[in-house]
Chains A and B, each alone.
Chain A
Amino acid sequence: VRPNIMQITLFTQFAALVLASSVLPGCSKKEAAPAPPSVSTATSKNNRLKFKGGERLVADLATGLSLEPSELCKELGLYDCKTAANISLGGVEPYLQTIYTPVGERTASTANAAERIALSACHLRMERDFAPAAEAALFAELAAPAPDLAKALAVSKRLYQKLLNRDASPEEVSHLTAFWKELSAEKEPAKAFATYACFAVATTEEALFF
């Protein structure tokens, strides 16, 4: 059953925390995972969502992260990830493989391919913003000395504006700031937060479907 649009919008309110926590190496396991918030859903009239596909996904990530589409993600450091995962990402290859139309519903590897590109792009943005003397495009507050909760809050709000093109709700911001607190024991919490908060927002269903 495909999720409807409102489910997706509301899902994003806790997806960031869950996703980020699951991928972050070295996250604390001592505290019990917070109970998922209750999700109220509204029924979509058409209930007809489409996966953005590789081209739109890369275009949006590149714009949101101020990167060139060609540099977002390279397999083995050489090959464009979107091209390598073209069919998984809903593309076609009519000339050599006679795949004239997208394969339909998402494939088993679609999520892997989308997350691969998003994680690589977020990591690249973080590296550039944290480089010495860099003019940070997204994570300026965190790259500055003494990052704190207020700075994480500012970055959280900007992530929603850049990647989902809207303001974050108070609940969404609170989830990301809770994530910041959870990272306090990390060696480089600011870098970890920048990468994985970006990844979490960039892989919400709202960011991947329309």
Chain B
Amino acid sequence: MKKFTKVLMAITVIASPAFAKPPGQKTFCDEYPLAPTCKSGQTVCATCHTSPPALNLFGTQVSQKLAPGGARPLTDEAYASALPEALRAVDSLDADGDGISNGDEIRAGSDPANAQSKPSDAPCTASPGAAWNLCGYDAAYTYRKVLLDFCGRSANYEERQAFAKSNAPKELIHETLEACLKSEFWQGRNGAVWNLASPKIRPIQSIKAGQDAGPVPLADYYRDYALFVYATTGDRDARDLLRAQYSIVASKTVPTTYSKLGLSFEQDLQENDNAAELAQPERRAGMISSSWFRVINTMFTAVPRTTAAQAYRAYLGLDIALLQGLQPGASAEPIDYDNKGVRASGCISCHQTLDPLSYPFSRYEGIDQDEKSFQTAETFGSYRKDRMARFVVSDGPNIVNVPEEGVLFGKPVKNLVEWAAVASDTDEFAQKTVLDFWHLLFGVDPKPSETEQFTKLWKRFRNENGYQIEKMLSDLVDTEAYGAP
């Protein structure tokens, strides 16, 4: 069995006794339907886990009451059946020792595993002499934060004085936000939004091509960064992160500007060599089909599971290694076209989702192992309908049967372009995109008591705001989560 499969298997086997099983989040919410953490119908991992599979204090209590004496690991069915009783058994207990029962905390939206988190339904008492309103949204506090978060500087003395005298503080906050969203700090090269893309792009300078090339230049990632900033600023539709069939380039001068590449596909290949985007424009799917994304994730593999897993993680917020987003597909999957042993009992539950998720990526070259084609810029990293044929020697004859069609969230997709179109229209995409900016501004996940505000944000982002990040941010700075000290 190949190393990759062994690693996945090991993760699954080690984790299975303690992991949040797929039905857990929904079953929890069936038991606590009115809890703030259950606004979307499923609670968050943090309800029971610190960092999955590790359990927090509350999760530990639940675990102790979960089918005691029963054989481990529990099946999904046994787990779902035993969980309600376990939750009821610990409802009146106090996992974090803060004097408030688990059930009361869950129903009130505070964290039963954190002694510092308590229900906030007690009336807030004003603090004489406090600099801000500590009982809710404070405009002066918000103004100060907007300048720091989006402009990268504090409001100076004169600005704070002027704000204090303003008759329209909210309007001033939004004017400030609008100006700061154009700042170099926010949208410039290596600015706040640019850096937000790094975990998705995962750059490595030593193999960078083009500007600032490394010693082994394989592909360029500056265009990936540029597309990310372009799609998430201005009045652009953030779904272009997965849908763009154009290239964006960032200026080399300050202030940074972003523009569509003014070269044809052929001109780009000719002028920029392997710093060019090598997939044909009609085969592109934004960030997940870029030359860099394929080089760094697909590399030499026939079935690009790592590529698909990174796309699923980075743009839909679902990490298969953490058993997130598992969607059992057709019963025949995974087929194991490449003889990696993915049908082994410890592997199959993840690969049922991962393998059909990966097939649409399979026609896009990573790092070409064929010396002849390696020397030909046109075939390096580009889309090739017959790509699987050259893996027969390394992966066996069945590899040629890998379909280009795949499955995403239970829906068949014909190719990567369709994969990206379906993905970018999901709740998961909206949630993950908004959550990335939430993390940037807050540094942490939404608290249970903020679930309602967060849900409203991503739903408006999908609907009223037309997937425009800047409109979403305008909503965000008006929330109590952001504006209450």
Contact = CB atoms under 8 A, between A and B. Distances in A.
- The answer to whether A and B come from one shared complex is yes
Q: Specify which of A9, A94, A95 lies most central, judged by the most chain B CB atoms within 10 Å of its CB.
A: A94
B37 to A, nearest CB: 17
A92 B120 contact: no
A55 B136 CA distance: 29
Contact of B153 (A6, A59, A101): A59
Contact of A46 (B159, B160, B205, B484): B484
B156 A101 contact: no
Contact of B157 (A46, A50, A96, A166): A166
A1 B115 CA distance: 11
B290 to A, nearest CB: 16
Nearest to A43: B134
Interface in A11-70: 42-48, 50, 52, 55-56, 59-60, 63
A156 to B, nearest CB: 15
B205 A96 contact: yes
Q: Specify which of B144, B208, B485 lies most central, judged by the most chain A CB atoms within 10 Å of its CB.
A: B485
A98 B204 contact: yes
Contacts of A98: 202-204
Contacts of A55: 152, 185
Given A55-B185, A56-B154, A94-B198, A48 B443 contact: yes
A181 B263 CA distance: 70
B71 interface: no
A5 interface: yes
Interface in B179-219: 185, 195, 198-199, 201-205, 208, 212
B120 A162 contact: no
A165 interface: yes
Interface residues on A, range: 20 to 34
A210 interface: yes
Interface string B446-485: 0000000000000000000000000000000000110011
Contact of B134 (A44, A60, A92): A44
Given A44-B134, A56-B152, A100-B198, A6 B127 contact: yes
A210 B144 contact: yes
Contacts, number: 85
A187 B469 CA distance: 58
A109 interface: no
B152 A59 contact: yes
A25 B382 CA distance: 66
A60 B154 contact: yes
Dominant secondary structure at the B interface: loop
A161 interface: yes
Contacts of A95: 203-205, 208, 212
Interface residues of B, number: 39
Interface string A117-128: 000000000000
Contacts of A210: 144-145, 148, 154
B198 A92 contact: yes
B374 interface: no
Contacts of B481: 46
Interface in B145-178: 145, 148, 152-157, 159-160
B393 interface: no
B135 interface: yes
Contacts of B442: 48, 50
Contacts of A100: 195, 198-199, 202
B265 interface: no
Given A94-B195, A94-B198, A165-B160, 20 more contacts: A5-B134, A6-B130, A6-B485, A42-B134, A45-B485, A46-B481, A46-B484, A46-B485, A47-B116, A48-B444, A50-B442, A50-B443, A59-B153, A94-B202, A98-B203, A100-B195, A100-B198, A161-B157, A166-B160, A210-B154
28 contacts: A6-B130, A9-B130, A9-B131, A42-B130, A44-B485, A45-B134, A45-B135, A46-B484, A46-B485, A48-B442, A48-B443, A50-B442, A56-B154, A59-B152, A59-B153, A60-B154, A63-B154, A92-B198, A94-B202, A95-B203, A95-B208, A100-B195, A101-B198, A165-B155, A165-B156, A165-B157, A210-B144, A210-B148
Nearest to B137: A45
A104 B203 CA distance: 20
Contacts of A42: 127, 130, 134
Nearest to A90: B443
Contacts of B203: 94-95, 98
> Would you list the 4 A-B pairs with minimal beta carbon distance, nearest first?
A42-B127, A100-B198, A94-B198, A95-B205
B124 A45 contact: yes
A9 B145 CA distance: 15
B437 interface: no
A43 B120 CA distance: 11
A96 B444 CA distance: 26
A136 B247 CA distance: 51
A191 B148 CA distance: 31
A135 to B, nearest CB: 20
A11 B148 CA distance: 21
B478 to A, nearest CB: 15
A11 B447 CA distance: 27
Nearest to A160: B157
A42 B128 CA distance: 9
B154 A45 contact: no
Interface in A154-210: 161-162, 165-166, 210
Nearest to A60: B154
Nearest to A1: B116
